[in-house]
Structure 1
Amino acid sequence: MKLNKLKTFNWKITAAVGAVLIAASWTGNLLYWSSMQLGKPYFFQHYFTVNEGSEGSLSFRYLEDNNAGVTVISVGLDEYPQFRFHLSESMPSNYQKQMIALAEWRPNEVTSNRYPSGQQFLTVNYSDGSWEKIPTGYINVVKNDEQPIKIKSTSRGGGTATEDLILEKIELLPDGEELKRFVEVQLTGFGGKDIKPPFELAKGEPLSLSYNFEFAGNAAMAASYYESSIQLSFSNKEGQKLVQRIEFIHTFESLPESEIYALAKAERKSP
């Protein structure tokens, strides 16, 4: 009889412990799910270089919680009110979906006189009737003044000068301070020697350009979108000014959960 009572008692303890463990696991999952929620759409920073007089597009990316109570219904770019942005889902994940707001324009719709370069703001309209202005990076409108290429490209990713030149400037476009903090540009010549402007480049002399992104400790900037250019400004013996631009793009196909978690934490701390 005592043995049966002991077995019944042990069974009750086991059941109670099991219930506690299940509840703890469920609570832990709920807390983790809650920690991965952004609470409101998160718009990434974008850095664009746009050539005036050319057709093209702008696409702004943002994250939205899968089960969000309030969603984005439309966006508008303050400096480009005639652009109509179309919203679409580009990539789902366990907790958020990546969305894209895309607008396209025809040639001659964008000129540097009508739309000056600088920091850009999106007007975001939500499903609950509210709206807000969100800073979303920089757009640099550049004149279509690139001259015939004076650097002959090679299969190794570099080039050689086709005439005697003076390299006067190396610039990042758009000219935003945030971008300069995270992009390192290196130009090398004979024997891998670093080149700093002003620099005289003889005909036939090799030239190699490389760039590197370094975002250590800054998850938000690592998740930013860059569609920009490195601009090299030259002059020749006749004093003619020559411009060459090398486009570079930094984007992301998917964000690791660790980066989303870092973004969620940063959003929670922001007012």
Structure 2
Amino acid sequence: MKPIWILYVITIKNQNMFWKDHRMKRLIYIAAVAAIVLIAASWVGNLVYYHHSQLPKAIFLKHHIEEVRAPGYSFELFYLENKHEKRKLNRIIIPELPNAMITPMPERNRYTHQTMGSMMVQITDLDTSEEQTGGTEPLIIRTVQGYFSDGSMDNMDIGEIRLYTLPADNHENTIASNWSSASSDGTGLYNFLVLKKLQITGISTAYLNELGDSFSLLIDIGRKLPTGSGMPSYQSVAETPLNAAEYPISIHEGDEVSLKYHLNQPLIDASSGSADIYQLLIQLTFEPENGKSAVYSFMISQNWDLSERDVKRIVAAARGDGE
């Protein structure tokens, strides 16, 4: 009986080892399949994420720019394109300014999936002849022709550029620029001295209504105090917000006028996801006593910087995905 018992024990052990080995192989197989599924899911997830992080095509930011249409004046157009895009934007042509000097700057900033470039546009005298600039209405540019590395061309929206033909400076003997300052928080001022009695007949920018409460300007008139020798001192005699100004505003000879502004426009539009860049040309029109109407102009530029989150919102809006 002993050999039979030993054989029985050996058989049972062999069966147990078989089932243990079978279960182990099955567990290994299940683990391998699970690992493959996880890797595939991760790969698909990364592929979907990458797909949704890509712009359908290169796009310009939405510009709202006012500038003087005269030789030497310039403006800059910013665009975004995918970092690993094969079809790169090489150059642009502006049909309304066929002789402009345009300098591509392909990498002004880099983000995770995109790069920001710009096109610096300088106006030349060939695009500012009297025949071309006739009339007082501004030249308005809303699209440019974009030429790409694959030889293709697209008409690309850029927002709106307004170029003004201003009368020749005829205020040298009437007002004198004194000084100006600007801060990173969007505040600043322009200060000038009145050499002859005059009346301010208007202060304007094309985007005043569009900006609404995001832009404010205060007209501060300072009168010179009687002092002895040394630097002149001024006392504010009137402060008028631009939206409450009643024209004409009389300014005495020797007065100092400070135009204090605050431009606090959000870079990203909450409803559309577009990035709006503003550059304002403030035009102050005035009439000197016994003189012709003249224009004093100055520029206000928006301080802005695109964050990684901003770029993601722009991409989502361009794709129609929402944020």
Match of 2:122 in 1: 104
CA positional deviation for 1:114 = 1.0
Question: What are the superposed Cα offsets for residues 180-219 of structure 1, whole Å, 9 maximum, x if unpaired?
Answer: 4685232243475535141333453653320313235154
Match of 1:141 in 2: 164
Q: Distance in 1 between matches of 2:53 and 2:81?
A: 11
Unaligned runs of 5+ in 2: 1-15, 182-187, 221-235
Alignment equivalent of 2:295, drawn from 240, 243, 257? 243
State whether residues 52 and 144 of structure 1, in contact with CA within 8 Å, keep that contact through their aligned partners in structure 2. no
Match of 1:27 in 2: 44
Unaligned runs of 5+ in 1: none
Q: Distance in 1 between matches of 2:150 and 2:102?
A: 19
Q: Where in structure 2 are the equivalents of 1:16-55 lying within 5 Å?
A: 18-55=35-72
Answering whether residue 89 of structure 2 is matched by residue 72 of structure 1, we say yes
Q: Distance in 2 between matches of 1:138 and 1:79?
A: 11
TM-score (norm 2): 0.66
CA positional deviation for 1:94 = 1.9
Q: Secondary structure at the match of 2:85?
A: coil
Q: Distance in 2 between matches of 1:83 and 1:206?
A: 36
Question: Against the structure 1 CA distance between its residues 161 and 58, is the aligned structure 2 distance closer, same or farther, given a 3 Å change threshold?
Answer: closer
TM-score (norm 1): 0.76
Q: Where in structure 2 are the equivalents of 1:1-271 lying within 5 Å?
A: 18-83=35-100, 85-90=102-107, 91-107=109-125, 109-111=127-129, 113-115=131-133, 117-136=139-158, 137-146=160-169, 147-148=171-172, 149-150=175-176, 152-153=178-179, 157=189, 159=191, 161-162=193-194, 163-172=196-205, 175=206, 180=211, 184-189=215-220, 190=236, 192-195=239-242, 196-198=245-247, 199-202=249-252, 203-204=254-255, 206-215=257-266, 216-217=269-270, 218-222=272-276, 224=277, 226-250=278-302, 252-253=304-305, 255-269=306-320
Q: Please identify, of 36-45 and 139-148, the stretch whose mean Cα deviation from structure 2 is larger.
A: 139-148
- Quick one: percent identity of the two aligned structures? 18
May I ask how many residue pairs the two structures share in their alignment? 265
Q: Please identify, of 7-16 and 66-75, the stretch whose mean Cα deviation from structure 2 is larger.
A: 7-16
Q: Between Structure 1 and Structure 2, whose CA radius of gyration is higher?
A: 2
Question: Against the structure 1 CA distance between its residues 242 and 152, is the aligned structure 2 distance closer, same or farther, given a 3 Å change threshold?
Answer: farther
State whether residues 43 and 63 of structure 1, in contact with CA within 8 Å, keep that contact through their aligned partners in structure 2. yes
Q: Distance in 2 between matches of 1:42 and 1:249?
A: 22
Q: Distance in 2 between matches of 1:268 and 1:154?
A: 42
CA positional deviation for 1:18 = 5.0
Q: Distance in 2 between matches of 1:134 and 1:178?
A: 26
Question: Against the structure 1 CA distance between its residues 139 and 244, is the aligned structure 2 distance closer, same or farther, given a 3 Å change threshold?
Answer: same
State whether residues 83 and 105 of structure 1, in contact with CA within 8 Å, keep that contact through their aligned partners in structure 2. yes
Amino acid at match of 1:159: N
Amino acid at match of 2:217: Q
* Alpha-carbon RMSD: 3.6
